[in-house]
Amino acid sequence: MRLDNMLLAEGMSDPEKGRGLAAAAAVAAASGGVGVDNSAEHSDYRVKLSQIRQIYHTELEKYEQACNEFTTHVMNLLREQSRTRPISPKEIERMVNIIHRKFSSIQMQLKQSTCEAVMILRSRFLDARPKRRNFNKQATDILNEYFYSHLSNPYTSEEAKKELVKKCVITVAQVSNWFGNKRIRYKKNIGKFQEEANMYAARTVVYVTNASSQGSQANSPSTPNSAGETGSPWLCSAIQQVPPLCALLQPNS
DNA sequence: TAAGATGATTGTCC
DNA sequence: GGACAATCATCTTA
Protein backbone atom coordinates (compact mmCIF):
# COMPACT_ATOMS: atom_id res chain seq x y z
CA MET A 1 0.00 0.00 0.00
CA ARG A 2 2.83 2.38 0.90
CA LEU A 3 4.58 1.47 -2.33
CA ASP A 4 1.41 2.23 -4.27
CA ASN A 5 1.10 5.60 -2.57
CA MET A 6 4.66 6.50 -3.37
CA LEU A 7 4.32 5.42 -6.98
CA LEU A 8 1.13 7.45 -7.17
CA ALA A 9 2.91 10.49 -5.74
CA GLU A 10 5.63 10.21 -8.35
CA GLY A 11 3.05 9.94 -11.13
CA MET A 12 4.03 6.33 -11.81
CA SER A 13 0.45 5.15 -11.84
CA ASP A 14 -0.42 7.07 -14.98
CA PRO A 15 1.44 5.81 -18.06
CA GLU A 16 0.11 8.61 -20.29
CA LYS A 17 1.36 11.27 -17.89
CA GLY A 18 4.71 9.61 -18.04
CA ARG A 19 4.89 9.74 -21.80
CA GLY A 20 3.77 13.36 -21.89
CA LEU A 21 6.29 14.45 -19.30
CA ALA A 22 9.03 12.48 -20.96
CA ALA A 23 8.38 14.17 -24.26
CA ALA A 24 8.18 17.63 -22.68
CA ALA A 25 11.32 17.10 -20.65
CA ALA A 26 13.16 15.72 -23.65
CA VAL A 27 12.18 18.77 -25.71
CA ALA A 28 13.27 21.11 -22.91
CA ALA A 29 16.59 19.31 -22.55
CA ALA A 30 17.19 19.16 -26.29
CA SER A 31 16.31 22.80 -26.90
CA GLY A 32 18.94 23.87 -24.41
CA GLY A 33 16.65 26.74 -23.56
CA VAL A 34 17.08 26.20 -19.89
CA GLY A 35 18.02 29.35 -18.08
CA VAL A 36 19.80 28.10 -15.00
CA ASP A 37 21.73 25.01 -14.01
CA ASN A 38 19.12 24.14 -11.48
CA SER A 39 16.27 23.86 -13.95
CA ALA A 40 18.58 22.04 -16.35
CA GLU A 41 19.23 19.50 -13.65
CA HIS A 42 15.53 19.29 -12.91
CA SER A 43 14.69 18.64 -16.53
CA ASP A 44 17.34 15.92 -16.50
CA TYR A 45 15.64 14.56 -13.40
CA ARG A 46 12.27 14.58 -15.14
CA VAL A 47 13.69 12.79 -18.19
CA LYS A 48 15.14 10.07 -16.00
CA LEU A 49 11.95 9.84 -13.92
CA SER A 50 9.97 9.39 -17.11
CA GLN A 51 12.35 6.66 -18.24
CA ILE A 52 11.82 4.83 -14.96
CA ARG A 53 8.07 5.30 -15.36
CA GLN A 54 8.13 3.84 -18.86
CA ILE A 55 10.21 0.85 -17.80
CA TYR A 56 7.85 0.30 -14.87
CA HIS A 57 4.75 0.26 -17.07
CA THR A 58 6.38 -1.90 -19.75
CA GLU A 59 7.40 -4.45 -17.15
CA LEU A 60 3.98 -4.26 -15.50
CA GLU A 61 2.27 -4.97 -18.82
CA LYS A 62 4.68 -7.82 -19.48
CA TYR A 63 3.93 -9.38 -16.08
CA GLU A 64 0.17 -9.05 -16.59
CA GLN A 65 0.43 -10.62 -20.00
CA ALA A 66 2.63 -13.41 -18.68
CA CYS A 67 0.22 -13.98 -15.81
CA ASN A 68 -2.73 -14.30 -18.21
CA GLU A 69 -0.80 -16.58 -20.56
CA PHE A 70 0.38 -18.77 -17.72
CA THR A 71 -3.14 -18.97 -16.24
CA THR A 72 -4.54 -20.01 -19.62
CA HIS A 73 -1.78 -22.55 -20.01
CA VAL A 74 -2.46 -24.08 -16.58
CA MET A 75 -6.21 -24.11 -17.28
CA ASN A 76 -5.54 -26.01 -20.49
CA LEU A 77 -3.35 -28.48 -18.64
CA LEU A 78 -6.05 -29.02 -16.04
CA ARG A 79 -8.59 -29.52 -18.79
CA GLU A 80 -6.32 -32.15 -20.33
CA GLN A 81 -5.96 -33.82 -16.94
CA SER A 82 -9.70 -33.80 -16.41
CA ARG A 83 -9.88 -36.52 -19.03
CA THR A 84 -7.91 -38.87 -16.82
CA ARG A 85 -9.16 -37.74 -13.39
CA PRO A 86 -12.02 -35.62 -12.08
CA ILE A 87 -11.00 -31.99 -11.38
CA SER A 88 -13.37 -29.83 -9.33
CA PRO A 89 -13.97 -26.12 -10.11
CA LYS A 90 -12.64 -25.38 -6.63
CA GLU A 91 -9.30 -26.99 -7.52
CA ILE A 92 -9.11 -24.88 -10.68
CA GLU A 93 -9.90 -21.75 -8.70
CA ARG A 94 -7.23 -22.65 -6.15
CA MET A 95 -4.62 -23.06 -8.88
CA VAL A 96 -5.57 -19.74 -10.46
CA ASN A 97 -5.29 -18.04 -7.07
CA ILE A 98 -1.82 -19.52 -6.51
CA ILE A 99 -0.68 -18.24 -9.91
CA HIS A 100 -2.08 -14.78 -9.25
CA ARG A 101 -0.45 -14.62 -5.83
CA LYS A 102 2.91 -15.56 -7.35
CA PHE A 103 2.62 -12.90 -10.02
CA SER A 104 1.45 -10.25 -7.57
CA SER A 105 4.52 -10.92 -5.43
CA ILE A 106 6.65 -10.42 -8.54
CA GLN A 107 4.77 -7.21 -9.21
CA MET A 108 5.48 -6.13 -5.65
CA GLN A 109 9.18 -6.62 -6.27
CA LEU A 110 8.88 -4.53 -9.41
CA LYS A 111 7.18 -1.76 -7.44
CA GLN A 112 9.86 -1.92 -4.77
CA SER A 113 12.66 -1.70 -7.33
CA THR A 114 10.90 1.23 -8.98
CA CYS A 115 10.55 3.02 -5.65
CA GLU A 116 14.23 2.46 -4.92
CA ALA A 117 15.20 3.80 -8.33
CA VAL A 118 13.05 6.90 -7.80
CA MET A 119 14.52 7.50 -4.35
CA ILE A 120 18.08 7.19 -5.65
CA LEU A 121 17.21 9.59 -8.46
CA ARG A 122 15.70 12.06 -5.99
CA SER A 123 18.69 11.95 -3.68
CA ARG A 124 21.01 12.46 -6.63
CA PHE A 125 19.16 15.39 -8.15
CA LEU A 126 16.73 17.08 -5.77
CA ASP A 127 18.07 16.43 -2.27
CA ALA A 128 21.71 16.86 -3.21
CA ARG A 129 23.62 19.62 -1.49
CA PRO A 130 23.96 22.62 -3.81
CA LYS A 131 27.41 23.00 -5.30
CA ARG A 132 29.76 25.40 -3.62
CA ARG A 133 30.56 28.59 -5.47
CA ASN A 134 33.39 30.93 -4.59
CA PHE A 135 32.36 34.50 -3.92
CA ASN A 136 33.29 36.99 -6.59
CA LYS A 137 36.35 39.19 -6.23
CA GLN A 138 34.32 42.27 -5.32
CA ALA A 139 32.48 40.47 -2.51
CA THR A 140 35.72 39.01 -1.14
CA ASP A 141 37.30 42.47 -1.28
CA ILE A 142 34.45 44.03 0.66
CA LEU A 143 34.53 41.29 3.29
CA ASN A 144 38.31 41.50 3.61
CA GLU A 145 38.23 45.27 3.87
CA TYR A 146 35.75 45.05 6.70
CA PHE A 147 37.69 42.27 8.41
CA TYR A 148 41.07 44.00 8.30
CA SER A 149 39.68 47.40 9.21
CA HIS A 150 38.09 45.79 12.26
CA LEU A 151 41.01 43.55 13.17
CA SER A 152 40.84 44.65 16.78
CA ASN A 153 37.36 43.26 16.97
CA PRO A 154 36.51 41.35 13.80
CA TYR A 155 32.87 40.69 14.61
CA THR A 156 29.92 41.97 12.68
CA SER A 157 26.98 43.73 14.27
CA GLU A 158 23.52 43.03 12.92
CA GLU A 159 23.59 46.30 11.01
CA ALA A 160 27.04 45.71 9.57
CA LYS A 161 25.99 42.25 8.58
CA LYS A 162 22.98 43.59 6.73
CA GLU A 163 25.13 46.10 4.94
CA LEU A 164 27.65 43.44 3.92
CA VAL A 165 24.81 41.24 2.73
CA LYS A 166 23.61 44.06 0.48
CA LYS A 167 27.04 45.00 -0.81
CA CYS A 168 28.28 41.47 -1.44
CA VAL A 169 24.94 40.08 -2.63
CA ILE A 170 25.22 37.06 -0.34
CA THR A 171 23.15 35.81 2.58
CA VAL A 172 23.50 36.62 6.28
CA ALA A 173 24.55 33.02 6.89
CA GLN A 174 27.26 33.36 4.26
CA VAL A 175 28.57 36.52 5.91
CA SER A 176 28.63 34.73 9.28
CA ASN A 177 30.34 31.70 7.76
CA TRP A 178 32.89 33.87 6.02
CA PHE A 179 33.79 35.77 9.20
CA GLY A 180 33.87 32.56 11.22
CA ASN A 181 36.23 30.94 8.75
CA LYS A 182 38.32 34.08 8.40
CA ARG A 183 38.81 34.58 12.13
CA ILE A 184 39.91 31.00 12.63
CA ARG A 185 42.18 30.87 9.60
CA TYR A 186 43.71 34.22 10.35
CA LYS A 187 44.42 33.27 13.95
CA LYS A 188 45.89 29.93 12.92
CA ASN A 189 48.29 31.41 10.43
CA ILE A 190 48.80 35.12 10.93
CA GLY A 191 52.08 35.06 9.04
CA LYS A 192 50.43 33.82 5.92
CA PHE A 193 47.80 36.57 6.04
CA GLN A 194 50.29 39.33 6.83
CA GLU A 195 50.65 40.51 3.27
CA GLU A 196 46.92 40.50 2.74
CA ALA A 197 46.40 42.32 6.04
CA ASN A 198 48.94 44.98 5.05
CA MET A 199 47.30 45.47 1.70
CA TYR A 200 43.80 45.93 3.07
CA ALA A 201 45.02 48.02 5.99
CA ALA A 202 46.81 50.29 3.51
CA ARG A 203 43.66 50.56 1.47
CA THR A 204 41.73 51.57 4.55
CA VAL A 205 44.35 54.14 5.51
CA VAL A 206 44.19 55.66 2.04
CA TYR A 207 40.43 55.60 2.13
CA VAL A 208 40.20 57.23 5.55
CA THR A 209 42.86 59.79 4.63
CA ASN A 210 40.98 60.74 1.48
CA ALA A 211 37.72 60.88 3.30
CA SER A 212 39.04 63.05 6.12
CA SER A 213 40.80 65.35 3.69
CA GLN A 214 37.42 65.90 2.10
CA GLY A 215 36.08 66.80 5.52
CA SER A 216 33.78 63.85 5.66
CA GLN A 217 33.76 60.77 7.80
CA ALA A 218 34.51 57.42 6.30
CA ASN A 219 31.29 55.51 5.93
CA SER A 220 32.51 52.33 4.45
CA PRO A 221 32.84 49.82 5.87
CA SER A 222 30.11 50.76 8.24
CA THR A 223 31.12 51.97 11.65
CA PRO A 224 34.82 51.63 10.98
CA ASN A 225 36.35 50.54 14.16
CA SER A 226 39.86 51.92 14.05
CA ALA A 227 42.15 49.04 13.34
CA GLY A 228 44.74 50.65 15.48
CA GLU A 229 42.56 50.29 18.50
CA THR A 230 44.30 48.69 21.42
CA GLY A 231 43.19 46.72 24.39
CA SER A 232 41.19 44.08 22.54
CA PRO A 233 42.01 40.47 23.40
CA TRP A 234 41.72 39.68 19.73
CA LEU A 235 44.19 42.41 18.94
CA CYS A 236 46.59 41.10 21.55
CA SER A 237 46.50 37.56 20.31
CA ALA A 238 46.51 38.33 16.64
CA ILE A 239 47.47 41.72 15.32
CA GLN A 240 50.32 42.36 17.73
CA GLN A 241 52.21 39.48 16.19
CA VAL A 242 52.47 41.48 12.98
CA PRO A 243 54.68 44.49 13.71
CA PRO A 244 54.52 46.01 10.21
CA LEU A 245 50.77 45.85 10.34
CA CYS A 246 50.73 47.35 13.80
CA ALA A 247 52.84 50.22 12.56
CA LEU A 248 50.56 50.72 9.60
CA LEU A 249 47.52 50.76 11.76
CA GLN A 250 48.72 53.29 14.30
CA PRO A 251 46.26 56.20 14.30
CA ASN A 252 49.01 58.72 13.68
CA SER A 253 50.87 56.74 11.03
C1' DT B 1 46.17 15.80 -11.20
C1' DA B 2 47.71 16.94 -6.62
C1' DA B 3 47.87 20.60 -3.36
C1' DG B 4 46.10 24.51 -1.49
C1' DA B 5 42.16 27.67 -0.96
C1' DT B 6 37.60 28.36 0.38
C1' DG B 7 32.58 28.01 1.46
C1' DA B 8 29.57 25.00 4.14
C1' DT B 9 28.38 21.78 7.83
C1' DT B 10 28.58 19.74 12.29
C1' DG B 11 29.54 19.23 17.16
C1' DT B 12 30.86 21.53 21.35
C1' DC B 13 31.17 25.16 24.53
C1' DC B 14 29.71 29.26 26.90
C1' DG C 1 22.03 31.51 19.82
C1' DG C 2 26.63 32.79 18.51
C1' DA C 3 31.57 31.63 18.27
C1' DC C 4 34.95 28.33 17.65
C1' DA C 5 37.24 24.26 15.85
C1' DA C 6 37.38 20.35 13.04
C1' DT C 7 36.11 18.51 8.98
C1' DC C 8 33.96 17.90 4.49
C1' DA C 9 33.30 18.98 -0.34
C1' DT C 10 34.27 21.62 -4.06
C1' DC C 11 36.89 25.01 -6.63
C1' DT C 12 41.24 26.94 -8.35
C1' DT C 13 45.83 26.85 -9.69
C1' DA C 14 50.37 25.33 -10.81
Residue A150 has pLDDT above 60, yes or no: yes
Q: Exposed, middle or buried by CB within 10 Å (0-12, 13-18, 19+), for A166? A: exposed
Both A157 and A96 in one domain: the answer is no
The separation between CA A222 and the C-alpha centre of its own chain, rounded to angstroms, equals 33
Q: What is the pLDDT of residues A197-230, one digit of tens each?
A: 888 877 766 655 665 565 443 344 444 444 444 4
Q: What is the pLDDT of residues A42-81, one digit of tens each?
A: 666 777 788 888 888 888 888 888 888 988 888 888 888 8
Is A234 within a domain? no
pLDDT at A171: 92
Q: Which domain holds residue A185?
A: 137-210
Please state whether strand C lies within 7 Å of residue A217 at its CB atom: no
Please state whether strand C lies within 7 Å of residue A137 at its CB atom: no
Residue type at position A28: A
Both A4 and A72 in one domain: the answer is yes
Please state whether strand C lies within 7 Å of residue A155 at its CB atom: yes
This prediction has a pTM of 0.56
Worst-scoring range by mean pLDDT, A20-29, A57-66, A77-86, A91-100? A20-29
Which positions on strand C lie below 7 Å from a protein C-beta? 2-7, 9-12
Residue A38 has pLDDT above 60, yes or no: no
Please state whether strand B lies within 7 Å of residue A213 at its CB atom: no
Residue A35 has pLDDT above 70, yes or no: no
Is A81 within a domain? yes
Please state whether strand B lies within 7 Å of residue A177 at its CB atom: yes
Both A1 and A113 in one domain: the answer is yes
The last residue of a domain, from among A102, A129, A156: A129
Residue A159 has pLDDT above 50, yes or no: yes
Q: Exposed, middle or buried by CB within 10 Å (0-12, 13-18, 19+), for A50? A: buried
Q: Residues 146-175 of chain A: which lie with beta carbon within 7 Å of strand B?
A: 173-174
Residue type at position A78: L
More confident residue, A16 or A252: A16
> What is the spatial distance between Cα A205 and Cα A250, in angstroms, rounded to a whole number?
10
Both A4 and A114 in one domain: the answer is yes
- Whether omega for the bond prior to residue A221 falls within 30 degrees of 0, making it cis, is yes
Please state whether strand C lies within 7 Å of residue A181 at its CB atom: yes
Residue A7 has pLDDT above 80, yes or no: no
Is A252 within a domain? no
Is A7 within a domain? yes
- A177-212 in b/e form (b: 16+ CB < 10 A) is ebbeebeeebeeebeebbeebbebbeebbebbeeee
Q: How many domains does chain A have?
A: 2
Is A204 within a domain? yes
> What is the spatial distance between Cα A141 and Cα A144, in angstroms, rounded to a whole number?
5
